[in-house]
Structure 1
Amino acid sequence: MAGNTTDSLIGKVALVTGAARGLGVEISRDLAARGAHVIVGARDHRKAEDVAAELRERGGAASALKLDVTHEEDRRAAYASIDNAHGKLDILVNNAGILLDSPDGGTPAPRQPSEALPHVLRETFEVNFFAPIFLTQLLLPLLKRSDAPRVVNVSSIRGSLTHLSDPASPVYPVRALGYDSSKAALNAFTVLIAEELRGTPIKINAIHPGWLRTGMGGERATMSVEDGARTAVQYATLGEEGPTGGFFFLDERLPW
């Protein structure tokens, strides 16, 4: 389903958001190991520096970037920094995300959708939906300078309307309005911008990394971050024949 991928990323520049912990760190490690210069984006610049230093110690190329994806000034500073240092961007992984509806991904939301709190909904959408839209829009000129630009939107199976409405689905009982609907909206953005750019070298896909053992996923999760990074990296390194405008877990195309 995914088409061919590019093993060597030498000469490529990749920005990973939310890269100071969990899945973002592992995605950064994998991209750096393949030869990309990885820009570690995170709200806490010191933590981003720590991750970038680790990548360099492993023999990779990496730099840190203070990037709160919800702040316009940080997004614009990111553009200027990447433009000045590299003049282009080959890979953008919109990984930063939050879950506020429940303590972790394995716990049903204590409030039903009819009781969801306005501030939880607004804050969740700012991070999970508006931020990746505005960052992608802003960085698009840099992506267009790449020979093979790739954008990966880290979504979730909980953004699948098919799964949310299926009583047999494992995500059906959770009913976390903020998180689930923000990921469904991110999926819609993925479809719309991919169709706008279809016929260009840019490939944009949404991915479900799996239920991961992270602070967000919780201890009962079934997959490690190493496993979870596989899907993100697979679609960040798509070859020319790879898909665009899809929703995937590894080679499986997921229902919207």
Structure 2
Amino acid sequence: MKSVLITGANRSIGLEIAKQLSQKGLFVYLGSRDLEKGNAVVKELNKNGFQNIKAIAIDTTKPETILSAKNIIEGEQGKLDILINNAGISGDFPQTTSDATIKDIQKVFDTNFFGVISVTQVFLELLKKAESPRISNITSGLGSLTLHSDPSWEYYNYKATSYVTSKAALNAFTILLAYELKDLPFKINAIDPGYTATDFNHHSGPRTVENAANFIIKHTLTAEDAPTGKFFSNEITDGTEVSPW
């Protein structure tokens, strides 16, 4: 049975990914900053027929929890097949470039960028033991520099400094990591689930968590000849799903 760790999985898209992967027969580690809340979520999932899901404490901004989670998974599985770096925050608003404080920007980067690097680096040892390791970094179209330079883009005026720059940095990290591991059977991609109705945006997005999770899983459970180091977006409508960086 393949195993997957999903950070920030006790609600919204992360939770839906956990549900769908459980139904596909994977053993799911539901990452939650608060283990008590995570256990409550898993208990409810079990009542509704979802199996092979275990809550695991992991706060991407606290190295000791990342290492503890790694030790638990290593002891139980011996490896990790899939890492989905889903945890993220939007930061406080407004986020104008001229007024955003270093403190506020750093807070967002700690979760959206540095946290992803911390988790990935710690779990690489276990991922390298898997036959077909996968790393999916959950990003946003708002991290595309190309789109942000196009006045005709639907979200052109959404220039949230902390969030946008954190996702742009995450996208760059994805490219570099995919290149570094290109000679191994890794598939490492940035995946944008699209503007989805979640707590993250006060449920203002037009997409459902079910649709978002399905898209993420589509580009995570990929074949050996699938691409790596790409940016897939649920917002792209021409059929390619490959977003410009």
Structure 2 residue 43 is matched with structure 1 residue 53: yes
Superposed, 1:114-129 pairs within 5 Å as 114-129=98-113
Aligned counterpart in structure 2 of residue 134 of structure 1, from 93, 118, 123: 118
Asked if 1 retains the 8 angstrom alpha-carbon contact of 2:143 and 2:164, the reply is: yes
Aligned to 2:159: 175
Structure 2 residue 76 is matched with structure 1 residue 85: yes
Aligned to 2:226: 242
* Amino acid across the alignment from 2:198: T
**What per-residue deviation string (whole Å, max 9, x for no partner) do you get for residues 190-240 of structure 1?**
000100111211110001001011111233311011111112111221111
CA distance in 1, matches of 2:8, 2:244: 26
- Point out which structure has higher relative CO (alpha carbons under 8 A, 6+ apart): 1
* Structure 1 runs of 4+ with >3 Å offset: 54-57
The TM-score, its normalising length taken from structure 1, stands at 0.90
Asked if 1 retains the 8 angstrom alpha-carbon contact of 2:85 and 2:137, the reply is: yes
Aligned to 1:159: 143
Structure 2 residue 238 is matched with structure 1 residue 254: no
* Amino acid across the alignment from 2:12: G
Structure 2 residue 7 is matched with structure 1 residue 17: yes
* Amino acid across the alignment from 1:27: I
The TM-score, its normalising length taken from structure 2, stands at 0.94
Structure 2 residue 189 is matched with structure 1 residue 212: no
* Structure 1 range deviating more: 43-52 or 153-162: 43-52
Aligned to 2:59: 68
- Superposition RMSD on alpha carbons, in Å? 1.2
Aligned length: 239
Asked if 1 retains the 8 angstrom alpha-carbon contact of 2:198 and 2:204, the reply is: no
CA distance in 2, matches of 1:84, 1:219: 38
The DSSP-based 3-state class of the residue aligned with 1:115 is coil
* Amino acid across the alignment from 1:30: Q
The offset of 1:111, in angstroms, is 4.0
Structure 2 residue 137 is matched with structure 1 residue 146: no
Q: Percent identity?
A: 41
The DSSP-based 3-state class of the residue aligned with 1:52 is helix
CA distance in 2, matches of 1:210, 1:31: 19
Structure 2 residue 150 is matched with structure 1 residue 186: no
The DSSP-based 3-state class of the residue aligned with 1:47 is helix
Distance 1:131 1:120, change over 3 A: same
Structure 2 residue 222 is matched with structure 1 residue 231: no
CA distance in 2, matches of 1:199, 1:56: 39
The offset of 1:53, in angstroms, is 2.5
Aligned to 1:43: 33
Gaps of 5+ in 2: 235-239
The offset of 1:114, in angstroms, is 1.3
Superposed, 1:23-38 pairs within 5 Å as 23-38=13-28
The offset of 1:55, in angstroms, is 3.6
CA distance in 2, matches of 1:54, 1:12: 23
The DSSP-based 3-state class of the residue aligned with 1:237 is coil
CA distance in 2, matches of 1:76, 1:116: 32
Asked if 2 retains the 8 angstrom alpha-carbon contact of 1:55 and 1:61, the reply is: no
Aligned to 2:237: none
The DSSP-based 3-state class of the residue aligned with 2:111 is helix
